[in-house]
Chain A
Amino acid sequence: MFKAIEVLQPNFIQRPLNELWQLISPLYSMDEEKWLNELLPLAKPTNKELEHCTNAATNLIAQVRQDDDSMSMIDALLLEYSLDTKEGILLMCLAEALMRVPDKETADAFIKDRLSVADWASHAKNSDSFFVNASTWGLLLTGKIVTMDETKDGQPANLVNRMVNRVSEPVIRKAMNQAMKVMGHQFVLGRSIKEALSRGKSYRDKGYTYSFDMLGEAALTASDADKYLTSYMQAVESVGKDTYNQKHRPTISIKLSALHPRYEVGCEERVMTELFDSVKGLIIKARSLNVGITIDAEEADRLELSLHLFEKLYRDEAIRGWGLFGLVIQAYSKRALPVLAWLAALAKEQGDQVPVRLVKGAYWDSEIKLCQQRGITGYPVYTRKESTDVSYLACARFLLSEHTRANIFPQFASHNAHTIAAITCLATELGATTEEFEFQRLHGMGDALYNRLIKDSDICVRIYAPVGSHKDLLPYLVRRLLENGANSSFVHRLIDASYPISDLVHHPVTTLESRKTLINPHIKVPTELFDDRKNSFGPNIEIDAEWTPFKAQIDTFMGQDTQWRAYPIVGGENLATANTHTVESPYDHSQTAGQIDWADTATVTKAIDLAEAAFPEWSTRPASDRADCLDRMADLMEENYPELMALCHREAGKTIQDSIDEVREAVDFCRYYAQQARSHFATPTTYTDFLGQEQKAQLTGRGVFTCISPWNFPLAIFTGQVAAALVVGNTVVAKPAEQTSLIAFRAIELLHQAGVPGDVLHLLPGDGATVGAPLTSDKRIAGLAFTGSTGTAQLINRTLANRGVAPVPVIAETGGQNAMLVDSTSLPEQVVRDAVRSAFASAGQRCSALRVLFLQEDIADRVIPMIKGAMQEQSVGLPYLHSTDVGPVIDKKAQTMLLEHIEHMTKEGKLIAQAELPAFANNGTFVAPTAFEISSIDQLTDEKFGPILHVVRYKARDLDKIIDTINNSGFGLTLGVHSRNETTCARIASRARVGNLYINRDQVGAVVGVQPFGGQGLSGTGPKAGGPHYLQRFAIEQDL
């Protein structure tokens, strides 16, 4: 870790650029406390500075509050509809979705859903703003109308109600759409640059200038990216033609994610060529018209990639020496300071200047969520708001330092009066003139603050103004409302006159240092997400410092010189047999991963003999001892992460992220079941029986358990079944899938290393006839866990039942015909992203994978081409490459079945799209992701376990029929729902007979202990794996 304070030394940025670059990535998830201790000295004011800054902030706020126009309409709206109110959330939801709903039926239902559940009356007349009151009354009245539709007595309470009751739904819809447009109008400067320039004139007359942001979501398809590029080009042209005589010309802000459908680390080669070309073309045009370009900051995962691209562009002959090509840096990022140092050094090396907008950051909540989901060791952002403010001031001190100012033109974006005052004071202290930096604010926000500033000084203030159609405003609007709508935000408090000024001018350093800990105790680090167990760890493959060293370890297992040798393990010993099989890599059959000896019948019998004999001792051990074995197993898997990932690649053909998820799930199973066993198996439970007597019961093992697992989760499901059976006190004979026995062998080795005795746990690789049959027909088998096809589960169940012994538990996880229901309130971009991931991730070889996408017909013509475009961006390839989205299918048999289905559907359905296969596809077993449109789910007979998606259009009024059709298939594993209408979601949830329902997200990747997984009907017996009731089924409840 570098010494942050050193950046203030003038020679710091004279270090070799590469040396400075090396400081960036390691800070990605750096220990927050340690890093803040480094930053604090840069932000800490002297007593004089503190006094100066506090006074300046106090004066500024007091003056702003005295101004008549202190509260803009948006400010007033945010004050009334704070996001901690139900109505605030509902309002945002309406604003986000209503205008994109094309059909009246769904729009009316959506309005009804949103308005009828909130207390709009409580907001009426609370605000002095006409806009807010008009909105409130509109919402109140329409809310009443909608609510009254529900009343059955037909006796409205008063005349007003009777009047509004007559208003028809189309009128309400029209009124609501109008209200949303009014809201949109407040946030968007214009629908086109021309309109924006015209509407912005009055502000420019006051001295403001602009940076225009073209609204829009990230591009999902190449045609989206083309559309956005054209839009940016036009914007540049329009601004270039602007004749307003002004010292600081307007600039354009661009989002790289809008200009390329795969702006991500895995596609770096494409980014550095295709995206580079697009942006370069744009910049050449901008330079010719003297219109500055700023690259907006996006998610933390893309920071390092964006800097690589920036450097390449910045060094390009066509751009070199311009001085108006800049970028945005987010202060909430732990990497912000070294990035700024690197940028200053880059500019210094080239001898020109980079404009840098310093913002606090707008994706904080999603960064936190993403890291928690991925099990990253820490966060890339600070967990306290005041820490971000500290970072902002630390960065500001560096940016305003004399040695930096020559190479970076700082643009400070903030709506916080204290930050503005602090920057101004810092600038004075460091001798920076008002020519050497500028401030920036958002259109529609902070007007009063900056009106005052601009009146009192000659500093440049630039307004960041969104331009585009109201329809495209929505995601932007949500981000802005989130940033500033929360009660705790400065904007909110500034306009709340009841909030004391003295509480608004605390220096963030003072606030942070007054905390017991620099880290926010309310936000646990991802690895400590759960109170009762450690979360599994996952490296972030998008971040160089996390991924490069990790990958290097994996690579040591990736060469052909590494071959695994596996055997049946019985009684803790490897038993060689004459039945040796070579394991070929699914992506290249000329590559082998190793060899495995399959067990013979005698080996199976021996394993059961030993397991039976070991049961009494193992089952009477304290549950905590058995749980300790699982915890050690979890740790051992994490210690052997690289090897297990290499096995996932080479034996199962799994992609990098799939392999990480595989190991994480196995680790989570062990820790979760260990915790469950300690809670429920360690001591007897006491209960009162039906006769009122107090009883004690103890859950104990049943005997020898058979575990039969599939190839699609060769480590996770295998380990999960075995761990559950073991921890309750059973002994286990485990049969892994024939295709993936090498990784199972390593798992059993690790379980033995973790302390599970050799005679308690046995591995029996082999086929169904030699190993599966005796494992299910032996009378000593006391229970069985199985994951695989419904047909095999039935066969196994029959074999077990025909042994002539008492019935035993069969815990079966079987197939599905998983659907996703999408109505017209959903966000198409999100639907496409989630549908493509759900259908094609892991080459569709997940039990939960999406097979049938039901699209409401009103949006189908919009969504289907987007699916097609997104599929064309899918990269099918070698699973161990970061650029690969879809790897091979498991073997030739699976490939043949899937290709036959594709051939069949080509005749029966309508091909939507098929992704391209790589040139080397014939070396392995690849199947191109393919999508068909069909007329009904009835056209499908059984599940096709691969990357094939079927799309069905449905009418909104037929939703219940669709649910019936899905239910009638008999399968009930997963179902996805995309809708902003909570009533619709609730209706589907209550009617659909599925085990796992996913709302407004993808439908794969259930997490142990968070989303217990398993189906019903033909899809499985339950209980759910990774859930609180799973272990009981492996046990007997005995009276004591």
Chain B
Amino acid sequence: MTIVQPIQIQVAQDVFEAWDMLCADGRADCLKTALASFPEAQRKMAHWQLENAVKEISETRIMPGPTGERNELSTQGRGVFLCTSFIDTEKATVGLVGQVFTALVAGNPVITVGPTGQEIMDAIAPFVAEGVIQNVAESAQDSLIEAENLAGVAVLCNAEQAKALNQRLVAKSGLICQLVEETDSETLSTIAKPHYLLRFVTERTVSINTTAVGGNATLLELGSMDD
């Protein structure tokens, strides 16, 4: 049986690599230009997420280890994220904006849902490449949730809705689709934490044998170094 992916997923996947390659600083710069059109509370949330991302993931971390090799730890986006809210309050919208900016700055293309999603998309779309953020009608949300190539769903909902959504996601085959749920739409206790961002990234280690070319001149210098 041929599974037809929703067109939005395909579009998002096509742009994923280029968006992810921009690195966190580059994405944050793009997204910062979109902040002005958001109401203050949403803007503060979005700005905070961008700043947090720049602080947490913009730099490649050099891991300690033996001489003659270089080990780098960095992050990449996971893939296409659906960002949605089952709760329609002002605070929930602040949370939704936080989700969208976090997912985006982490390197993922994002699909939002419904009129609220449309407003967020409209504010961001002019500043990012086409397809990095898309919006679908609420009626299309289910087909996206069912899509095999969806990397994750970030959702504001209550506990029961989270359970139900989780059951739908795990029923799919393919990669394990991440559910990043916020069930506290009043204080946004999950979204507004520094480690929230890590749910949207995947880590990548690059190990380079630096002695394959050019030997280990640095070490040789150490062998002759004065104390």
Name the one of B21, B163, B222 contacting A807, with C-beta atoms under 8 angstroms. B163
Is B178 within 8 A of A1021, CB to CB?
Answer: yes
Which B residues are CB-close (under 8 A) to A531?
Answer: 64
Enumerate A457-496 residues with CB–CB distance to B below 8 Å: 478-479, 481-482, 485-489
- Of A223-231, A365-373, A637-645, A754-762, which binds chain B? A365-373
Contact flag A995-B159 (CB < 8 Å), given A383-B223, A1000-B209: no
Name the one of B21, B167, B220 contacting A365, with C-beta atoms under 8 angstroms. B220
Contact flag A801-B170 (CB < 8 Å), given A482-B215, A806-B163: yes
Name the one of B66, B167, B201, B212 contacting A801, with C-beta atoms under 8 angstroms. B167
Is A83 within 8 A of B214, CB to CB?
Answer: yes
Name the one of B45, B49, B98, B189 contacting A1039, with C-beta atoms under 8 angstroms. B189
Closest to A523 in B: B222
A520 to B225, CA, bound (A): 8
Which B residues are CB-close (under 8 A) to A84?
Answer: 217, 221
**Interface check B175, CB cutoff 8 A:** yes
B191-212 CB mask vs A (1 if < 8 Å, else 0) is 0111100100111111111011
Which B residues are CB-close (under 8 A) to A89?
Answer: 213-214, 217
Is B206 within 8 A of A997, CB to CB?
Answer: yes
Among A369, A793, A995, A1006: residue with most chain B CB under 10 A? A369
**Interface check B219, CB cutoff 8 A:** yes
**Interface check A996, CB cutoff 8 A:** yes
In the assembled complex, the CB of A687 is this many whole angstroms from the nearest CB of chain B, namely 5
Is B163 within 8 A of A482, CB to CB?
Answer: no
Name the one of B170, B205, B221, B222 contacting A995, with C-beta atoms under 8 angstroms. B205
Is A482 within 8 A of B204, CB to CB?
Answer: no
**Interface check A830, CB cutoff 8 A:** yes
In the assembled complex, the CB of B210 is this many whole angstroms from the nearest CB of chain A, namely 8
Is A1011 within 8 A of B71, CB to CB?
Answer: yes
Closest to A96 in B: B213
A369 to B21, CA, bound (A): 33
Name the one of A365, A800, A802, A1023 contacting B219, with C-beta atoms under 8 angstroms. A365
Is B223 within 8 A of A523, CB to CB?
Answer: yes
Name the one of B204, B206, B207, B220 contacting A486, with C-beta atoms under 8 angstroms. B220
**Interface check A797, CB cutoff 8 A:** yes
**Interface check B27, CB cutoff 8 A:** no
**Interface check B129, CB cutoff 8 A:** no
A790 to B205, CA, bound (A): 21
A996-1016 CB mask vs B (1 if < 8 Å, else 0) is 111111000011011111101
**Interface check B80, CB cutoff 8 A:** no
Which B residues are CB-close (under 8 A) to A96?
Answer: 213-214
Contact flag A690-B98 (CB < 8 Å), given A804-B163, A999-B209, A1023-B203: yes
Among B171, B174, B192, B206: residue with most chain A CB under 10 A? B206
A994 to B206, CA, bound (A): 10
Is A369 within 8 A of B173, CB to CB?
Answer: no
Which A residues are CB-close (under 8 A) to B65?
Answer: 372, 529, 1007, 1010-1011
A487 to B220, CA, bound (A): 9
Is B166 within 8 A of A372, CB to CB?
Answer: no
A405 to B192, CA, bound (A): 79
Q: Is the interface of B mostly helix, strand, loop or mixed?
A: mixed
Closest to A976 in B: B207
Which B residues are CB-close (under 8 A) to A991?
Answer: 17
Which B residues are CB-close (under 8 A) to A805?
Answer: 163
Which A residues are CB-close (under 8 A) to B64?
Answer: 529-531, 1009-1010
Is B212 within 8 A of A1000, CB to CB?
Answer: yes
Size range of the interface on B? Answer: 35 or more
Is A520 within 8 A of B222, CB to CB?
Answer: yes
Is A797 within 8 A of B219, CB to CB?
Answer: no
**Interface check A689, CB cutoff 8 A:** yes
**Interface check A328, CB cutoff 8 A:** no
Is B78 within 8 A of A369, CB to CB?
Answer: no
Is B212 within 8 A of A794, CB to CB?
Answer: no
**Interface check A993, CB cutoff 8 A:** yes
Closest to A482 in B: B215
**Interface check B48, CB cutoff 8 A:** yes
Which B residues are CB-close (under 8 A) to A697?
Answer: 193-194
In the assembled complex, the CB of B10 is this many whole angstroms from the nearest CB of chain A, namely 13
Is B76 within 8 A of A807, CB to CB?
Answer: no
Which B residues are CB-close (under 8 A) to A1027?
Answer: 73, 203, 205
Contact flag A365-B47 (CB < 8 Å), given A807-B163, A1000-B208, A1029-B198: no
Enumerate B61-76 residues with CB–CB distance to A below 8 Å: 61, 63-69, 71, 73, 76
Closest to B47 in A: A690
Binding site for A on B (CB under 8 A): 17, 21, 44-45, 47-49, 61, 63-69, 71, 73, 76, 78-79, 98, 159, 162-163, 166-167, 169-171, 173-176, 178-179, 181, 183, 189, 192-195, 198, 201-209, 211-217, 219-225, 227
Binding site for B on A (CB under 8 A): 83-84, 88-89, 92-93, 96-97, 364-366, 368-369, 372-373, 383-385, 478-479, 481-482, 485-489, 515-517, 520-523, 529-531, 685, 687, 689-692, 697, 793-794, 797-798, 800-802, 804-807, 810, 812, 827, 830, 970, 980, 985, 989-991, 993-1001, 1006-1007, 1009-1014, 1016-1018, 1021-1024, 1027-1029, 1032-1033, 1037, 1039
A-B contact pairs, 10 of them (CB 8 A): A83-B217, A482-B220, A488-B224, A689-B192, A794-B176, A798-B170, A798-B171, A804-B163, A1009-B63, A1011-B63
